[in-house]
Amino acid sequence: MKKIINFKRKLAKFNDLWSPKIISEFNEQEIKLVKLKGDFVSHKHDKTDEVFIVLEGKLKIEFKDKIAELNKGEMIVIPSGEKHKPFSDEECKIILIERKNTINTGGEDHYLKSPNDIWI
């Protein structure tokens, strides 16, 4: 901790999609960067709320009752237990904040399930 983290420099270190990379941690939470494009799987996290902050591009999230569209400089908090399906037409770069040890697919065995302990 106490290290200055530059989002652009960290984002330049990877290109894989839907694969969160940890950049820092605080209070049992992890801060991750993710690049998104196309469709993710609909899923939920039973033990964590999830913060999405858009750094570049446009992120869409489909809920049961609506579709949220987030642009650069916008954020949303998804309550634990709430089904959501992130998707994006163009590549989108985001910050994700959630409890440590969270699985991106909510635990479901899906080809987009990613390791949850990769630091960059």
Residues lying near its own copies in the complex (CB under 8 A) are found at 1-8, 24-29, 31, 48-51, 55, 63, 68-71, 73-79, 82, 97-99
Residues 6+ apart with CB under 8 A from 96: 20, 31, 32, 33, 34, 50, 51, 52, 53
Q: What backbone torsions phi and psi does residue 82 show, to the nearest 5 degrees?
A: -95, 125
Minimal distance, residue 88 CB to its own copies, in Å: 15
Q: Which is nearer to its own copies, 79 or 115 (CB)?
A: 79
Q: Is the distance from CB of 80 to CB of 47 less than 8 angstroms?
A: yes
Find, among 72, 105, 64, 99, the residue nearest to 88 by Cα.
72
Q: Which is nearer to its own copies, 7 or 14 (CB)?
A: 7
Q: Which is nearer to its own copies, 40 or 50 (CB)?
A: 50
Minimal distance, residue 109 CB to its own copies, in Å: 25
Q: Which is nearer to its own copies, 17 or 55 (CB)?
A: 55
Minimal distance, residue 48 CB to its own copies, in Å: 6
